[in-house]
Amino acid sequence: MNVEEIIKTSKKIPLEPRTLIHMELVHNKINEIMYGALKPFEVSLQQFNVLRILRGQQGKPANLSTLNDRMVTKMSNTTRLVDKLLSKGFVNRTVCPSNRRKVEIVITDSGLKALRQMDESLEDAHKVIYQNFKKEDLEQLNYLLDKF
Amino acid sequence: MNVEEIIKTSKKIPLEPRTLIHMELVHNKINEIMYGALKPFEVSLQQFNVLRILRGQQGKPANLSTLNDRMVTKMSNTTRLVDKLLSKGFVNRTVCPSNRRKVEIVITDSGLKALRQMDESLEDAHKVIYQNFKKEDLEQLNYLLDKF
DNA sequence: TACATACATTTGTATATACAAATATTGTTT
DNA sequence: AAACAATATTTGTATATACAAATGTATGTA
């Protein structure tokens, strides 16, 4: 990736703002590839993320605030995100019997099946995204990202 | 930044997906700080970016497609973004006399003045964002980001 | 000149997201 | 028990963004 080429400038950009631009460009690129990989399943990255969280629960239901805590991008509107998954038949939602303020969300068999297919598609996306990376590069990158 | 703590998981996440989550978390954090820095001026990051591009033109007008080329996040709707800057008095827009399909956009004195203030605010944001970074860390990070 | 094509921007519309206020339920205090 | 505060979710609304179609202008060709 060549920053200056993408934003079509010949000027030298100072290191600090350049890094922010660089991060943004990489973020956009990753998002594009990931959305492409999820497109056949008609779910957003956020929805995919929620499905993975639910699978991680191993049958144990999750409520909305738990989902929100565990989401990578915390958003205000988990209700409507779950609505979408519900309308696709990927999750079930019931009122929690012991505390009726809460809802209990579980992933369905159909959701699990779809998720397994998404995993395969995401594997391919990873291959594209990381084609120039060695394992040590990724470790070094994670080390540096921790400094933020 | 501790990935596992933020998304409240105790499980070990494989390196590749972990890096993507890491990137997303850092991106969100940077955005939050940047938007905070720009809040007093009531401009979005995209709008700020366009103002900087216009300043870089050194008086030479830019048309919409040029702006779009140079923007960090290319978007479909540069027209409406420029509308916003126009209503704030930060830019002027005129029809290009030699080719009436094009528009010519220039930054106003008021826009330049506001931009100088934003620069100061962004300087502070940089200090927050990069407080744990040495120069060599940033160089190494840029080197690794190029692999995407 | 008339026609088709290409170019630059604008507009319409659907969807996404952010933020605040509203609703419903539970827990606490007097 | 009544009143109040705390919790969990839902809803309303404003704003943002993506994508496609529409508009207006310029260029090339028969």
Among residues 79-118 of chain A, which lie with CB inside 8 Å of chain B?
none
The answer to whether residue B56 sits within a structural domain is yes
Q: Where residue A100 sits, what CATH number does that domain have?
A: 1.10.10.10
State the average pLDDT over residues B6-14. 91
Instruction: Strands of chain B (E only): list them.
Output: 91-95, 103-107
C-alpha A106 chain-centroid distance? 19
C-alpha B123/C-alpha B102 separation (Å) is 35
The answer to whether residue A1 sits within a structural domain is no
The answer to whether residue B10 sits within a structural domain is no
pLDDT digits (tens, 9 = 90+) for B86-121: 999 999 999 999 999 999 999 999 999 999 999 999
The answer to whether residue A18 sits within a structural domain is yes
Q: Is A94 helix (H, G, I), strand (E, B) or coil?
A: strand
- Per CB-CB distance under 8 Å, the chain A contacts of B129 are 20, 148
Does nucleic acid strand C have an atom less than 7 angstroms from the CB of A46? yes
Q: How far is the CA of A109 from the C1' of D27 (A)?
A: 59
Per-residue model confidence as pLDDT tens for chain A (148 residues) = 999 999 998 899 999 999 999 999 999 999 999 999 999 999 999 999 999 999 999 989 999 999 999 999 998 899 999 999 999 999 999 999 999 999 999 999 999 999 999 999 999 999 999 999 999 999 999 999 999 9
| Per-residue confidence (pLDDT) for residue B120, from 0 to 100 | 94
With an 8 Å Cβ cutoff, are B30 and A20 in contact? Answer: yes
Kindly tell me if the per-residue pLDDT of B148 is higher than 90.
yes
Does nucleic acid strand C have an atom less than 7 angstroms from the CB of A142? no
Provide the residue range defining the domain that includes A139.
14-145
**Count of the separate structural domains present in chain B:** 1
The answer to whether residue A7 sits within a structural domain is no
The answer to whether residue A96 sits within a structural domain is yes
The answer to whether residue B78 sits within a structural domain is yes
- Per CB-CB distance under 8 Å, the chain A contacts of B19 are 130, 138, 141-142, 145
Complex confidence, ipTM: 0.91
| Minimum-distance nucleotide, CA of B65 to C1' | C8
pLDDT band at B47 (very low <50, low <70, confident <90, very high): very high
The answer to whether residue A64 sits within a structural domain is yes
Q: Is A134 helix (H, G, I), strand (E, B) or coil?
A: coil
